[in-house]
Amino acid sequence: MHESSKPMNLGDTTDMKITIFGATGRTGILLVEQALAAGHEVVAFVRSPEKMPIEHISLSLVQGNVIHKEDVTKVITPDVDAVISVLGPTRNSSANLMAVAADNILNAMREKDVKRLIFMTGAGVSTPGDQPKLINHIIKFALKALSGEVLKQSEQAVETVRNSDRRWTVVRVPMLTDASYTGKLRVGMVGVNTGSRLTRADAAAFILNQLTDETYIRKSPVISN
């Protein structure tokens, strides 16, 4: 395992079967690596299997497109313990990508009676409990100006997740970096105990901890270094 992807101590966790969306992204690959190292079985939903650099006996790849309901249904099965999404919209993605993805994931979870969902999004997505300072307002204004459609997609998807009946946690993250794992996290809300950066390895470790930690069930913390 690379030093940058060293996971947190996950404690005495029971091995789980996890479906991961966004598994071939820069955060997703670290998440897959850490999950396998922790002893979990991982089903990675991917558009391009060749982009997955990891091979492991407990890793299976399922190719598909998240906007196609039938593809999503293939990877959310009754024996899945939790679903994790580290999907993110890009400037070139369709305007409704994230909203459709959230709908398809949640519908499949309800159909197969899978209850636990961990959903990563940007810290620019607001939620009750935030106490934005001037700098937060400036950042939000810049996000709307530079990536307004991307922010809108994320907000729509998160709203869908929050209105669902699943045991969800929305993990909000600031600017992600490829720096080495630190194991040092601040957990708060916008404007409360948060920083401006977070390593992808630390983000992955926090997300995995939510498999057994119920502190943030139906909550939307912001995490940062």
Task: State which residues form the domain around 203.
Answer: 3-224
**In Å, how far from its chain's centre is CA 121?**
6
Angle 200-209/26-37 helices, nearest 10 degrees?
A: 50
Angstrom distance (rounded) from CA 64 to CA 66: 7
Angle (CA) 197-190-169 rounded to 5° is 90
Please tell me the predicted confidence (pLDDT) of residue 11: 45
Helix/strand/coil for 51: helix
Strands 222-224 and 186-188: antiparallel
**What is the pLDDT at residue 210?**
96
pLDDT value of position 8: 47
Phi-psi region of 70 (alpha: psi -120 to 50; beta: other; left: phi over 0): alpha
CA atoms 198, 200, 206, 211: torsion sign: positive
pLDDT for position 5 = 60
Q: What is the mean pLDDT of each run of 10 residues along the chain (225 residues)?
A: 48 78 96 97 96 97 96 96 91 80 98 98 86 64 55 89 97 95 94 91 97 95 96
Q: What is the CATH number of the domain that holds 75?
A: 3.40.50.720
